[in-house]
Amino acid sequence: MKRFKKIVYVFLGLVAILLLVALFIPTTTVVKRSVIISRSQSETFEFVKSLSNQEQYGVWWKDDPKMQISSQGTDGTVGYVHAWKSKNDNVGEGQQRILKIIEGQQKSRMDIELKFIKPFKSVAPSYMSTEMLSKNKTRVSWAITSKMPYPMNLIGAIMNMEKMLGDDLNQGLKNLKVILEK
C-alpha cells in the first residue's frame, strides 16, 4: 500500500510540475514566413487573393488531391468561403473565409479566418500580404496565429508548432514562387 501511495504522489507531483510549466508557455503563437518573388506587387496580390489558387501551391492540398472542395461567394472578395473535407487526418476538414482586403500600390493584405473542424476544432486568424520592393520584386508574407488555451499550450510547445507550421508555410511560398515566376 505504501508503494502505491508513493507512485500516486510522484505522478501527482509530475502533473503539478507540468501544469506549472504550462503557466509560462505562451497560449498564442504567430508563425510568419516570407519569400521574394520576381513579379509585380499587383500581379502577385491578384493571384494570392484568390483562395482557390492555394490548391496549386499550398502543401495541405498536395497531401490529399482527392479532398472535396466547396465554396461560397466570389473568390478574391470579402466574405468568400473556401472549404475542404478530407479523409486524411493531416488535412482534415475546415474552411477559410476572407475577412478583409486592403489593396494598395505599394502594399496589399488579405485577412483570413481559418476554421478547422476535424481532426480538432479551432479558429486561426491568418493573413497574406504583398509588398512592392521594386517594379518586379515583391515580398509575399503568409502568417497564421495558432491559439492553444492553458494547459493545452504545453502540447503545442512539445510539438513545436512554430516549426511544423512554419515548414508548411515555407514550402507553400516556395511553390508560389515557382508558379508566379514561370
pLDDT above 90 (res 156): no
**Bridge partner list, 107:** 131
Q: Is residue 44 part of a domain?
A: yes
106: in domain: yes
CA distance 126 to 68: 22
Domain that holds residue 161: 23-180
pLDDT band of 10, cuts 50, 70, 90: confident
Alpha carbons 51 and 83: distance in angstroms, whole number: 10
Q: How many domains does the chain have?
A: 1
pTM: 0.84
CA 158 vs CA 5, 8, 122, 123: distances in Å: 29, 24, 18, 20
Higher pLDDT, 162 or 137: 137
pLDDT at 166 over 80: yes
pLDDT tens-digit profile of 40-80?
A: 999 999 999 999 999 999 988 888 888 899 999 999 999 99
Instruction: State the average pLDDT over residues 160-166.
Output: 81
Burial group, residue 6, by CB count within 10 angstroms (0-12, 13-18, 19+): exposed
CATH at 109? 3.30.530.20
User: CA 46 → CA 1, 2, 36, 161, 178, distances in Å?
Assistant: 70, 70, 16, 29, 16
Q: Which residues face 126 on adjacent strands?
A: 112, 144
Judge whether 53 lies within some domain.
Answer: yes
Q: Quick check: is 6 in a domain?
A: no
Cell for 109?
493584405
Residue 18 belongs to some domain of the structure: no
Position 123 in a domain: yes
Contact status, residue 136 vs residue 39, Cβ threshold 8 Å: yes
65 occurs within a structural domain: yes
8 within domain boundaries = no
Average confidence score pLDDT of the chain: 90
Phi, psi at residue 63, to the nearest 5°? -65, -30
